[in-house]
Structure 1
């Protein structure tokens, strides 16, 4: 796995919180919030929004069915899957969101639409921390899909690419993958959640 940042990053921000010198918070790319003038996708290409009950430190949004949002939510303490919807909270707080898709053309295209929807401001107000792209099959991802992943990921604050997990195929969705890409991903996301606090919309 690699944590990829948008190529137009200028000055990555390192964590300087005292008392946690060894925790690295991945810096966000330039595209870290919705952009003025961005055209929202067609209605058919947008994810729905849903009022969520209960609490979560992180909401995991799959951009399509089979994206792996439940598997990823199970890996992260305090995370909940949204059922392929943008969450909004009735208490007015701004939910932290991780977008998830598979590394095939359908998955990446839906993630691109979801990121366009977010960047256009057509979603509820969320704190999008990044996009996680999960391999859709064992083995090496074809170059064309790797290239498209980089293009799509350029529209997210951060991009994680994660390898295939064979045990998930057999129903062991709660098994922690041994691949170091997942270990780094969990470390990154945990650090991001710990170092950002929900804000309230006014």
Structure 2
């Protein structure tokens, strides 16, 4: 799995370029964008996600940037997660929901994710604690380079991002078991920690 921070930010490294964190230590990637930014241009109304008032609570709300994004699949993997049916969630009690944005790694999916992230970073979206973007492979095999490059650009507008491989078993059945791929195991661990973390520790600077 490729965990990426904003590509325009250079992470500190040791003199020899080695990672300073012990190899056995893993913490979720730190957020480099944790709130909307002043001066960003809002997207056109037609390019914005709908808002949906949701009842009840959830440790994490999964928002698909488009139909077929994998919203339900990801929600099945994360304990306490609920889907929003491709809408920004608005809680009835006025509190700020924790949200994970999800898209597929094709041009349609990445373009939809870019619009949603532009909406969030411009302040046009409702108040949410956006944890990051999960980009799910849309087909078996290696993603073409133009799409990988576009995904890197789109992911730069998210607090964090995870790139997740194709799961063949999902094509043939309704299994909700976590995929054995290491990328998914790390992703699930990250989201479980982020969904229960406090803001002060969620945004700490750590080595991914």
Q: Is TM (by shorter chain) over 0.5?
A: yes
Q: C-alpha distance in 2, partners of 1:73/1:164?
A: 16
List runs of 5+ in structure 2 lacking aligned partners. Answer: 13-23, 200-208
Q: Deviations over 1:81-121 (max 9, x none)?
A: 10000001011110000000000000000000000000111
- Residues 23-172 of structure 1 aligned to structure 2 (within 5 Å): 24-29=27-32, 31-172=33-174
3-state secondary structure, aligned to 2:68: coil
Q: TM-score, normalised by structure 1?
A: 0.89
**Corresponding residue SS for 2:95:** coil
TM-score, structure 2 normalization:
0.86
**Secondary structure of the structure 2 residue equivalent to 1:106:** helix
- Mapped contact 1:168–1:175 kept (Cα < 8 A): no
Structure number with higher relative contact order (C-alpha < 8 Å, ≥ 6 residues apart): 2
Query: Matched residue pairs, number?
Result: 188
Output the CA distance in 1 between the equivalents of 2:26 and 2:105: 29
CA distance in 2, matches of 1:25, 1:144: 27
Say which SS state the counterpart of residue 179 (structure 2) adopts.
coil
Q: CA deviation at 1:43?
A: 1.1
Gaps of 5+ in 1: 13-20, 198-202
CA 1:11–1:151 in structure 2 vs 1: closer, same or farther (change >3 Å)? closer
Tell me the distance in 2 between the aligned counterparts of 1:185 and 1:61. Answer: 16
SS of the equivalent of 1:164 reads: coil
